[in-house]
């Protein structure tokens, strides 16, 4: 950086009064920071209202799993995920409100979401334990991708508070994804080494 500054100063002395900004290959290009007037707060609030719905679904799923885990060994982790998802929902709602979102509680929407989750439960009745864990892993991965993008976005917008709050969500989601992956690994291995009565009749 010192060499780059020397080059700029030397060039300015050689070309005084040109008003030109000289950029050398030694200088790094930093991400542009948006000004307050360029931030689309309405769009952010709309996207976070969707995020609230997604977090609510994750919370409901985790609570249901904690009561009836795919495997008894996963009961504790699903209880931890449910508790964390409740905190995550509050954080997402806080950020959404910060950008102009107005919380609303629609009874009709709540009933519709409940019916949708009941249909999902019926469709899961024929699935295996490892398939249910795999489903939860996909949902958790989607949440991680979403959080990662928004943490970076808030950093670029200069909103350190929202970036910091959402980084907490991201860190916990990543830890829970790893725990679920370990659970899936264990279930798949158990299935792979379990005795097949049809293949090894007694």
DSSP state of 186: H
Is the predicted pLDDT of residue 60 greater than 70, yes or no? yes
- Domains belonging to the chain, first-starting first, are 38-190 (1.20.1260.10)
The model's pTM is 0.71
pLDDT band at residue 156 under the 50/70/90 scheme: very high
**Look-up: residue for tokens 């409901």?**
60
**Closest C-alpha among 148, 166, 34, 143 to residue 94:** 166
pLDDT, position 104 = 74
Angle formed at CA 83 by CA 78 and CA 85, multiple of 5 degrees:
90
pLDDT of 2 reads 47
Q: Which of 21-25, 98-102, 196-200 has the lowest mean pLDDT?
A: 21-25
**Which pLDDT value is given to residue 4?**
47
In which band, very low, low, confident or very high, does the pLDDT at 35 lie, cut at 50, 70 and 90?
Answer: low
On whether the CB atoms of residues 88 and 169 are closer than 8 A, the answer is: yes
Are 62 and 172 in contact, with CB atoms under 8 Å apart? no
81-99 pLDDT, tens digit per residue, is 999 999 999 999 999 999 9
């Amino acid at each position: 950086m010192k060499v780059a500054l020397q080059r700029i100063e030397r060039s300015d002395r050689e070309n005084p009064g040109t008003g030109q900004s000289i950029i050398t290959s030694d200088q790094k290009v930093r991400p542009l920071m948006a000004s307050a007037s360029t931030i689309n707060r309405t769009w952010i609030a709309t996207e976070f209202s969707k995020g609230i719905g997604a977090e609510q679904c994750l919370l409901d799923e985790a609570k249901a799993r904690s009561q009836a885990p795919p495997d008894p060994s996963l009961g504790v982790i699903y209880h931890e995920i449910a508790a964390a998802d409740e905190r995550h929902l509050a954080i997402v709602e806080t950020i959404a409100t910060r950008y102009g979102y107005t919380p609303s509680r629609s009874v009709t929407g709540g009933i519709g979401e409940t019916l949708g989750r009941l249909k999902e439960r019926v469709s899961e009745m024929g699935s295996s334990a490892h398939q249910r864990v795999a489903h939860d892993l996909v949902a958790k991965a989607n949440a991680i991708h979403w959080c990662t993008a928004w943490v970076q976005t808030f950093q670029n917008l200069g909103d350190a508070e929202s970036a910091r709050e959402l980084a907490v969500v991201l860190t916990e989601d990543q830890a829970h994804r790893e725990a679920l992956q370990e659970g899936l690994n264990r279930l798949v291995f158990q299935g792979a080494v379990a005795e097949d009565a049809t293949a090894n009749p007694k």
